[in-house]
Copies of this chain bind each other. A is one copy, B any other.
């Protein structure tokens, strides 16, 4: 089957843009290096350029993936969506790369030549025209929001179907009340989710979970998360994140005993879990965490505070990142992971006191009221002389000081999970906008008939489809052992995209979108959390994506430099 000629042009343009982007990356890398070696100090001074670089890399990779996507399974909707996204992305990458060239003192002539290229103008005239956007908008409406149709193998497709049906039938009817009354996720949601096995998606089968024994199945986790998040971000889609992080930490660092004891329970959703990392004065800065563990007979005593600990009330098991090495200069090498068991509590505040025999330590928690992402509640926690037995230190004595490393695999999974959450919220918003636009009449005809509405829907669909396709692709790469930087990249792009898509969907609803009884108002406030948690946008863009690109660029440059040093 012959590929669409616009797809070919777009792919060609992206292939020509990639080396220009890489030229900027290499030049910026040289600015961030001292004697060819990456310098954190110099890199810090280049934050503004690095931020542009990270976003350009996200758009570029997403566009490359989107354009490859339709392939021989192309249908006109998928092709149209890929082209709409591709054109927007080329424009954005071009602008950001030009900013980088200007900043870095490079000659912008090659970029201007690209911008003036006849093929680029022709592509926009053909696939970026108002008529093309409207056609894609119509196709999207006719597909009833079945967008981003990435072809899945049968097992994954069946899981997606099953969870989408479950989300629509069981989760969606409870989502509005959960949000508006700021309730705690009820057993009427938790029990069927346990039965569906969602808490064991990252637990290998031999430990009672649903992941293969010999590899991860990140794609499945993303698919399920996406399906559940479409119905409720906080009531269902986000329940997987915590067992995901905890299971992976146990798999990475737990003793055999700990794995056999905890993993089957986590997979069964009993106890439910929470993860306590962030502290009041430290957001993404893990190396500075201060919650103190003091060694006592038979275990440790914990003192200090954590915050933004989601689901800490309902959870029966909290994984806590503890500073076990009193020498603060040890940074993240002084951190260990401990498991705290506590009673499950449905309220917005709890106080758990240990028995006198255990020393009478206490853990108290208070939910932080938020504009969205309601249902699990995020807690401020105060640890006061809380006893943790030796058996509950992940990895035992050998695990001390390795807490940071044990969380890494889970963090990666958490970011992919969050890309899935963002996709689910986008899908919900787009389908709500499609329904509303079909029903609502303005100036005598359905809103959906307006060319502007169709063009907006096309852009929303294009962004969603591109993020979803990239998330699936990165999930597969992760399961093959790569894709660590890309997991942050797709999280960055999908979360910001979800903010934009929900904003546009709300706007299409007019005043009705601003009313709490419209689900789209919830999608909008829920989406706003995505760029903040699981690695804030700025942290991911700078400390993960840009840094990784620049270090790679320096590594690539080294052999060449050893032969013929530049400058």
Interfacial residues, chain A to chain B (CB-CB below 8 A): 44-49, 51, 91, 95, 99, 102-103, 108, 112, 115-116, 121, 124-125, 128-130, 133-134, 180, 278, 281-285, 288, 307-308, 368-373, 378, 441-444, 450-452, 455, 499, 503, 506-507, 510-511, 513-517, 521, 524-525, 528-529, 531-533, 536-538, 542
Contacts and interface: CB of A to CB of B under 8 A. Distances in A.
Contacts of A130: 46-49, 103
B103 A369 contact: no
A124 B99 contact: yes
B371 A514 contact: yes
A450 B515 contact: no
Nearest to A307: B511
A267 to B, nearest CB: 29
A450 B48 CA distance: 9
B515 A368 contact: yes
A450 B506 CA distance: 33
Contact of A533 (B278, B450, B455, B511): B511
Contact of A121 (B108, B282, B307): B108
Given A371-B524, A371-B525, A511-B278, A129 B108 contact: no
Contact of A180 (B125, B281, B307, B369): B369
A116 B51 CA distance: 24
A307 B517 CA distance: 14
Contacts of A45: 451
Nearest to A284: B442
B516 A371 contact: yes
A134 B528 CA distance: 26
Contacts of A515: 368-370
Given A442-B283, A528-B514, A455 B536 contact: no
Nearest to A182: B516
Contacts of A134: 48
A99 B51 CA distance: 26
Given A103-B129, A103-B130, A524 B516 contact: no
B510 A528 contact: no
Among A51, A112, A442, find the residue whose CB has the most chain B CB atoms closer than 10 A. A442
Contact of A95 (B91, B370, B441, B455): B91
A117 to B, nearest CB: 10
B47 A450 contact: yes
A370 B536 contact: no
A507 B540 CA distance: 13
Given A47-B451, A514-B528, A516-B370, A102 B128 contact: yes
Given A102-B125, A368-B515, A451-B45, A510 B525 contact: no
Contact of A371 (B103, B510, B521): B521
27 contacts: A46-B451, A48-B134, A48-B451, A51-B452, A51-B455, A95-B95, A102-B129, A103-B130, A112-B112, A180-B369, A278-B511, A284-B510, A285-B442, A308-B511, A369-B515, A369-B517, A370-B514, A370-B516, A371-B371, A452-B542, A507-B531, A507-B532, A507-B537, A510-B532, A513-B532, A524-B528, A525-B525
Among A99, A116, A514, A515, find the residue whose CB has the most chain B CB atoms closer than 10 A. A514
A427 to B, nearest CB: 21
Chain A to chain B: the 7 pairs with minimum beta-carbon distance, closest first: A48-B130, A47-B452, A47-B451, A369-B516, A112-B116, A48-B455, A283-B510
A278 B514 CA distance: 15
Contacts of A373: 514
A526 to B, nearest CB: 10
A458 to B, nearest CB: 10
A180 B407 CA distance: 36
A285 B180 CA distance: 31
Contacts of A531: 507
A402 B95 CA distance: 50
Contacts of A525: 371, 525
A452 B538 contact: yes
Contacts of A372: 514
A372 to B, nearest CB: 8
A508 to B, nearest CB: 9
A129 to B, nearest CB: 6
Nearest to A451: B47
Nearest to A51: B452
A528 B542 contact: no
A133 B524 CA distance: 30
A251 to B, nearest CB: 28
Contacts of A533: 511
A383 B47 CA distance: 59
Nearest to A541: B452
A525 B513 CA distance: 12
Contacts of A133: 48
A176 B544 CA distance: 37
Given A99-B124, A370-B515, A511-B532, 18 more contacts: A46-B130, A47-B455, A48-B130, A48-B451, A48-B452, A48-B455, A102-B121, A102-B128, A103-B125, A103-B130, A116-B116, A278-B511, A281-B441, A284-B510, A288-B443, A371-B525, A503-B528, A513-B532
